[in-house]
């Protein structure tokens, strides 16, 4: 086959490209002009975008193509009360979630208090659902997942009573306008509680977008249990010795090994009950950890009400600090704790009852702060040896001793160790519920 002939380029004495029309500018000049126009236009577009980036993203959001609002309603059914955390997120262009707003409401008593009257439990939780409905725009109700996770309060109940309460909650949720399914109601595993609390703290502190080595340890002291969670610097030894407490956890497109241990029975209210019943299970109790002026002070735990009387010496309100401390030490030692050495290398954020009791004692203000184990001991001694009686806080001495002993002897922290006590971060409540909401929105109920 004959190949088509090639047209040869004219041979010019210079490197310039000419057109056939000598009155037109050379081709290279045209190219220079075109490239210059493109460059200037690009700069103008980039400059405009930089100035109006926020407006553009808002407009994109309005059109619904990205940055969609997402809501989640989580009921935290704890041992001392039930709380609803309703969270409003914005979905980022990369698929992550940014927290925009939240509603936090709580009611007392806890769900376990209705063990013999489940319908009353339904009335209590329905109050929280009404608040959540007012917070979430109506057009998003059907796409908003609703979940209730019960913690130590229901774990401590007989299984048949716990199941009756869960079934009552499931029937209530089925009537809700929010999105629910069979997984909406459950008793949460203690380790999951620890993982979600840890995620919440580090998410709010913005410690999950960079190096995870900058994450902090989370200590969550509840009424029935306590959770301790952190990323170990070397998980190999912990995997060998305590494999059941090492969980591979997906965080921001990567997987890490997290140590998380939940101790049922070491919550503040559970510890009180153990101290009061150290000599036997009675409803009328005399305890050396309470002022003699506390005559029949009621204490309710796991649906049982105890009446506590003081046993201070010489008929004075002051409490014998050393005797009470000895009893508390026995309670803490009765439940094995790991005392992970790696915890000593962590920055520790403690919350829930840690923060509440520190604030009661004047150790921190509303914004929280750093408190050493020694300062907890000092506050406990000061409270126990007071000659005045606080009828509104009859168990304050005991609580402060317990927290001090738990941190030092339970978890092996030297007394000069400082922990950061917080209740909120940037105005957001510290709760495992935020971590649970994020997980559900990313992975489904």
100 annotated active-site: no
Separation between Cα atoms, residue 399 and residue 324, nearest integer Å: 11
- Could you tell me which of 276, 285, 411 has the C-alpha nearest to residue 350? 411
Q: What is the chain's alpha carbon radius of gyration, rounded to the nearest angstrom?
A: 31
10 Å Cβ neighbour count for 272?
A: 23
Q: Is 247 left (phi over 0), alpha (psi -120 to 50) or beta?
A: beta
In a 10 Å sphere around its CB, with 0-12 CB exposed, 13-18 middle and 19+ buried, how is residue 367 labelled?
Answer: exposed
Beta strands 304-310; 297-301: pairing state: antiparallel
**Could you give the residue ranges of the DSSP H alpha helices within 189-256?**
190-204, 235-241
What DSSP string runs through 72-102? Answer: EEEEEE-SS-EEEEEEEEEE-TTS-EEEEEE
Decide if 255 contacts 249 (C-beta within 8 A).
Answer: yes
Cβ-count burial 88-123 (b if 16+ within 10 Å, e if not): bbbbeeeeebebeebbbeebebbbbbbbeebeebbe
Closest CA to 368 of 415, 416, 427: 427
Cβ–Cβ under 8 Å, residues 89 and 69: yes
- How close are the terminal C-alpha atoms of the chain, in Å? 69
Q: Classify strands 146-150 and 185-187 as parallel, antiparallel or unpaired.
A: parallel
| Neighbour-count burial for 139-148, b at 16+ CB within 10 Å, e otherwise | eebeebbbbb
Fill in the DSSP letter of residue 257. E
Indicate the helix (H) or strand (E) that contains 71.
strand 69-77
Q: 445: closest CA among 249, 180, 253, 248?
A: 180
| Catalytic-labelled residue, pool 102, 193, 383, 429 | 193
Cis peptide bond prior to 109, omega within 30° of 0: yes
- Which residues belong to the active site? 193
């Amino acid at each position: 086959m004959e190949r088509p002939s090639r047209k040869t380029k004219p041979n010019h004495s210079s490197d310039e490209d000419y057109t056939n029309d000598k009155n037109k500018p050379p081709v290279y000049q045209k190219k220079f002009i075109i490239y210059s126009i493109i460059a200037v236009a690009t700069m103008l577009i980039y400059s405009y975008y930089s100035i109006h980036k926020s407006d553009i993203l808002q407009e994109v959001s309005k059109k619904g193509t990205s940055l969609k609002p997402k809501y989640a309603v989580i009921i935290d059914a704890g041992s001392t009360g039930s709380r609803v955390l309703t969270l409003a997120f914005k979905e980022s262009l990369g698929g992550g979630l940014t927290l925009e707003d939240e509603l936090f409401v709580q009611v007392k008593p806890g769900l376990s208090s209705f063990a013999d009257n489940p319908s009353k439990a339904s009335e209590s939780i329905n109050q929280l659902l009404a608040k959540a409905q007012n917070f979430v725009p109506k057009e998003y109700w059907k796409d908003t997942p609703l979940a209730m996770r019960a913690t130590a309060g229901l774990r401590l109940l007989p299984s048949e009573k716990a199941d009756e309460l869960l079934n009552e909650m499931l029937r209530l949720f089925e009537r809700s306008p929010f999105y629910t399914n069979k997984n909406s109601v459950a008793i949460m595993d203690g380790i999951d509680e620890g993982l979600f609390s840890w995620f919440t703290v580090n998410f709010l502190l913005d410690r999950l977008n960079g190096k995870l080595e900058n994450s902090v340890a989370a200590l969550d002291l509840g009424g029935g249990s306590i959770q301790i969670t952190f990323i170990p610097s070397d998980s190999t030894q912990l995997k060998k010795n305590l494999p059941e407490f090492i969980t591979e956890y997906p965080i921001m497109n990567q997987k890490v090994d997290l140590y998380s241990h939940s101790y049922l029975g070491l919550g503040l209210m559970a510890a009180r009950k153990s101290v009061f019943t150290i000599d036997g299970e009675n409803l009328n109790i005399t305890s050396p950890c309470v002022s003699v002026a506390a005559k029949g002070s009621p204490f309710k735990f796991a649906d049982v009400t105890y009446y506590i009387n003081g046993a201070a010496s010489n008929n004075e309100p002051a409490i014998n600090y050393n005797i009470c401390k000895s009893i508390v030490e026995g309670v803490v030692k009765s439940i094995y704790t790991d005392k992970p050495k790696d915890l000593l290398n962590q920055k520790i954020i403690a919350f829930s009852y840690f923060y509440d009791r520190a604030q009661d004692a004047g150790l921190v203000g509303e914004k929280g702060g750093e408190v050493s184990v020694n300062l907890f001991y000092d506050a406990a001694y000061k409270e126990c040896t007071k000659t005045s009686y606080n009828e509104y806080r009859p168990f304050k001495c005991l609580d402060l001793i317990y927290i001090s002993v738990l941190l030092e002897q339970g978890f092996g922290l030297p007394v000069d160790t400082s922990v950061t006590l917080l209740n909120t971060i940037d105005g957001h409540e510290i709760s495992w519920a935020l971590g649970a909401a994020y997980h559900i929105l990313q992975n489904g109920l």
